[in-house]
Chain A
Amino acid sequence: MKQWRFWFVEHRGTLMALVIFVVMFLIYASNHPAGFGANMVQTASNKGVLLAFVAMAQSLVVITSGIDLSVGMVFTLTNCLASWLVVGSPAQVILGIIAVLAVGAVCGAINGCVVIYGRLQPIVATIATGAIYYGIALALRPFPGGTVNETIADALTGKLFNFIPASLVAMIAIVFVVWVPFSRSVAGRAAYAVGSSETAAYMSGVPIKRAKFFAYTLSGLLAGTGGLFLTFFTYTGEAAYASGNAYTLFSIASVVLGGVSLMGGKGSAIGAIFGALAFRTIGDLLFVFDFDPLWQPLFQGVVLLLAVSLSAFGLLRVRNRLDWFT
């Protein structure tokens, strides 16, 4: 009984995100003009998975109580790179994919080094590195263009057995390859420890630097995976400043919806995934209700504002006013 309650408290944020997502998706699916079907799920999954990758990337850093404002730019950079490299023979394609993911990880590692060894505040440091990554993306693709190996692109964005969306399967696979080992490793536990109290973690001899370095590097890797998938969906590379920025901002919103505390030390990448899927579904709700698409940004904004205001209910439980200031 006790065990069960601990588990529940630990995963409350993730479960909330799951519930929001399921409710939103049911409303979305039941009103969808094409009806609930494999095609609709595939489209929704393809759209949601992109943001989910970026949100996972963001959540890893946020758990260490940092923030990564360059995720969107790493996403854009790897998109541009993939439109050059993931072409040609199967061997070239595989090498290209590895190179793209490696570049993503390197971008994350650079962020990590600047934050750990440069001792700069993550928020400012990643703004600056984000500008650098965007500059490189622009150098790679001054104009939208490029191409990608269509066989693998179609395989990863289509359906398995004519039913299951492949992108969703790919994402779950990435969760098992990246997030599950990380969260169970020493570095992963240390990341949570650093996030909840860096001083206490330091005093207890937790490997702070290793934890942060892994968190930032894996964050870059995940953002790179997102960029790779973007290339698979669009078949082109584009250094779009606005879209990179939007992904950064949406990733923060998804992480918050997914129950990851911006103070650090709380939440999980799984929660961030549900947060991202919920956020995307909310954004698309207007389409199924046949509203003017002009209203979509406003609707998305108001929902976001309400969602973040809900956290204010926690104030009602505060007994001592000094607890406001933490």
Chain B
Amino acid sequence: MNAITARLSSFRRHLDPAVITAFACILLLLFLGSLYSRNFLSPEYLLQQLKVASFLGIIATGMMLVILLGQIDLSLPWVVTVGAMMSSAAAGFGHTGAMLAIPFGIFCGVLIGLVNGFGVAYLRIPSMIITLATNAVAQGLMVVYTGGFSPQDSASPTMRYLATGFIIPSIPNSVLCWIIVGAAAVFLMNRTGFGRSIYGIGNRERAAYLSGINTRRIVLTVFGISGGLAAFGGVLLAGYASKAAQSMGDAYLLPAIAAVVLGGTSILGGRGSYLGTVAGVLLITLLQSILSVMQMPEFGRQIIYGLVIIMMLLLYGRESLSR
């Protein structure tokens, strides 16, 4: 009994005001939505939202690790597309191709991520620039590969099953994927030396280096993981839409960054929890969904979307005045 109360109080101490605010905003959104239509609280609708959120959630997990380092990964849009296109392409090569489709898509993403990581960690190029450049290269490769059109290859049955099927009744597989990825990320961040080093590097890379951490290898690995997760998100998206499309990843860069930051992770690195990222992902998915259910025209959606991000950041994302 004592142990439980001790745990509870330590849990309360660790609660981040940002995470609480984000979850409060989710409840507020659900409440506002339920005033509009009762369907907003039905289990079907919520599960559907969870399913849509899982794609963003998996992609944002990689982005969060990179942001924890104090870096940023702008190559995400075309890594997502590369993951989708390459896995669909591999699926076209008969039985073995279909088997290797998912690993091959993820492998391509990891490769791009490693190029990013090498540039950032070993060549000391600012992450914003090198990821921008690899994004351009990935785009160029895909344009050459597809000839500028949407490719004809379609997703393999496994990919479709992973994105739309149900192993456990009524819980979509993509949500299971997110739970697995999320659990792995939480374990990595909180229970391993690798995770502690990520936080350390994000706080001050110089100090982390002086304490004997091989900071360059860790930065390289994290970018590889981020690329792999983005590509995995692309694989799932291809399975969901049953084919890949040009610039299908464009719609995920800003939401991924916004989700991570709204969840209380500092864009300067070194501070943030995965629970916050989950809250950010759910918040953004719900916001997009409610705006589209209310048949808000696209321009209104964009404006409200931007305003909400700024408002929430003004609530808790401000830097301290003292320097």
Contact = CB atoms under 8 A, between A and B. Distances in A.
Contact of A301 (B140, B302, B318): B140
Interface stretch (B1-9, B81-89, B309-317): B309-317
A325 B205 contact: yes
Which of B74, B148, B309 is packed against the most chain A CB atoms within 10 Å?
Answer: B309
A256 B323 CA distance: 28
Which of B138, B205, B261, B310 is packed against the most chain A CB atoms within 10 Å?
Answer: B310
Contact of B147 (A132, A198, A294): A294
A245 B130 CA distance: 17
Nearest to B320: A119
A129 B306 contact: yes
A132 B303 CA distance: 4
Interface stretch (B33-41, B54-62, B117-125, B158-166): B117-125
B11 interface: no
Interface in A119-145: 119-121, 123-125, 127-132, 134-139, 142
Contact of A120 (B128, B254, B305, B317): B317
A261 B139 CA distance: 25
A130 B209 CA distance: 37
A309 B301 CA distance: 39
Contact of A325 (B144, B206, B301): B206
Nearest to A131: B306
Given A121-B267, A132-B306, A139 B205 contact: no
A128 B132 CA distance: 19
A216 B130 CA distance: 25
Contact of B136 (A138, A305, A325): A305
Contact of A135 (B206, B261, B299): B299
Given A138-B299, A299-B140, A124 B258 contact: yes
Q: What size tier do the contact residues of chain A reach?
A: 35 or more
Contacts of B72: 123
B294 interface: no
B133 interface: yes
Contacts of B125: 308-309, 311-312
**Chain B binding site: helix, strand, loop or mixed by DSSP?**
helix
B268 interface: yes
A252 B128 contact: yes
Interface string A228-246: 0000000000000110010
**Chain A binding site: helix, strand, loop or mixed by DSSP?**
helix
A249 interface: yes
A67 interface: yes
B303 A131 contact: yes
Contacts of A129: 306, 310
A304 B261 contact: no
A297 B302 contact: no
A50 to B, nearest CB: 18
A253 interface: yes
A294 B147 CA distance: 7
B70 to A, nearest CB: 11
A124 B261 contact: yes
Contact of B133 (A134, A199, A295, A305): A305
Nearest to B74: A249
Given A127-B257, A295-B144, A301-B137, A245 B307 contact: no
B126 to A, nearest CB: 5
A301 B128 CA distance: 14
Interface in A91-136: 114, 118-121, 123-125, 127-132, 134-136
B233 to A, nearest CB: 19
Which of B143, B306, B321 is packed against the most chain A CB atoms within 10 Å?
Answer: B306
A6 interface: no
Contacts of B298: 135, 138, 142
Contacts of A130: 306
Nearest to B204: A325
Contacts of A295: 140, 144
Contact of B306 (A118, A128, A139): A128
Interface in B235-265: 247, 250, 254, 257-258, 261
A262 interface: yes
Interface string A286-311: 00000000111111111011001101
A315 B118 CA distance: 14
A279 B206 CA distance: 34
B141 interface: yes
A311 B72 CA distance: 19
B126 A262 contact: yes
Interface in B154-212: 205-206, 209-210
B17 interface: no
A196 B224 CA distance: 32
Nearest to A292: B144
B140 A300 contact: yes
Contact of B319 (A121, A137, A299, A315): A121
Contacts of A298: 137, 139-141, 143-144
Which of B136, B250, B261, B309 is packed against the most chain A CB atoms within 10 Å?
Answer: B136
A312 B126 CA distance: 10
Contact of A124 (B148, B206, B257): B257
Contacts of A256: 129
A118 B128 CA distance: 23
Interface in A122-179: 123-125, 127-132, 134-139, 142
Nearest to A202: B323
14 contacts: A120-B310, A125-B313, A128-B313, A131-B254, A132-B302, A139-B299, A198-B323, A297-B140, A297-B143, A298-B140, A300-B140, A304-B137, A308-B119, A309-B119
Top 3 A-B pairs, shortest CB-CB distance: A298-B140, A135-B302, A301-B136
